[in-house]
Amino acid sequence: MKIALIAHDHKKNEMIQFTTAFKNELTKHDLFSTGTTGKRIMEETSLNIHRFQSGPLGGDQQIGALIAQNEMDLVLFFKDPLTAQPHEPDVTALIRLCDVYKIPLATNMATAEVLLKGLSRGDFEWRHLVRGEGDKND
């Protein structure tokens, strides 16, 4: 599965804690991230991550493009609801794309944990069908 990891500045430490806790599960998947978040995760966890631009410089839109091309399976976006973001329209567009293309999205650690535990149980096999890959259990 292809997983996007994004975190606003005040949520980056939470993302580090989360990716550290779920490192064993995350190593099984292709990881993508916005620039600064990805750099911090790689430094702290040694996970292999494809990094895009920083969010305010277009990284959110780069991940959104993958969603629109059906190339992303899960988005973990730890948003900071208490701080205004200069690139809020990009954030809103990314969330909208997840809704349009039926991509599971977590905006906080609690929901992210539920989604990753479901992923480890095999609850996301439907994504293979959506991508036209057939049943991976055959």
The sheet with strand 2-7 has its strands ordered as 49-51, 30-33, 2-7, 74-78, 105-106
Is 60 one of the catalytic residues? yes
Residue 11 identity: K
- Taking the C-alpha atoms of residue 138 and residue 136, their distance in angstroms, rounded to an integer, is 6
To which H or E segment does residue 137 belong?
none
Residue with tokens 């911090």: 40
Q: Which of 60, 73, 80, 99 is catalytic?
A: 60
Burial 17-53 (b: 16+ CB within 10 A, else e): ebbeebeeebeebebbbbbbbbebbbebbebebebbe
Q: Among all residues, which ones are annotated catalytic?
A: 60
